[in-house]
A = this chain, B = another copy of it.
């Protein structure tokens, strides 16, 4: 029953909602990548010696691992992904205008769960 409900929920994202979601998701990802770029530039500008270049590799490895885990575009998990992005400041509810109230409420539920 849970599985059936889950599949039905996936199907309930309309084309418009999918467009809104994809745009918001991509923009949040881009914002987060911008910060990664800025940090790499800063690290590059203050390299104590050429051999320290691997510090940048370590940093990128860590960020990539974290972001690959966090950014998951499956519709079944998207509300929890959006909740996390909103909590972390990469996304706002304004960017999600166009999503149905059911999705907004689910995102808010995830935020409440995380804040408990």
- CB contacts under 8 Å to B, within A38-74, are 40-41, 44, 47, 49-51, 53-54, 56-57, 60-61, 64
Number of copies: 2
Q: For the complex, what is the distance from the CA of A80 to the CA of B115, rounded to whole Å?
A: 59
Q: For the complex, what is the distance from the CA of A60 to the CA of B51, rounded to whole Å?
A: 12
Q: For the complex, what is the distance from the CA of A30 to the CA of B30, rounded to whole Å?
A: 34
Q: Is A37 an interface residue (CB 8 A)?
A: yes
Contact: A37 with B29, CB < 8 Å? no
Q: For the complex, what is the distance from the CA of A33 to the CA of B51, rounded to whole Å?
A: 6
Contact: B50 with A44, CB < 8 Å? no
Q: Is A36 an interface residue (CB 8 A)?
A: yes
Interface of A is mostly: helix
Q: Is A34 an interface residue (CB 8 A)?
A: yes
Interface size class of A (residues with CB under 8 A): 20 to 34
Contacts of A50 in B (CB 8 A): 30, 33-34, 36-37
Interface residue from B30, B41, B49 paired with A44 (Cβ < 8 Å): B41
Q: For the complex, what is the distance from the CA of A33 to the CA of B55, rounded to whole Å?
A: 12
Contact: A53 with B44, CB < 8 Å? no
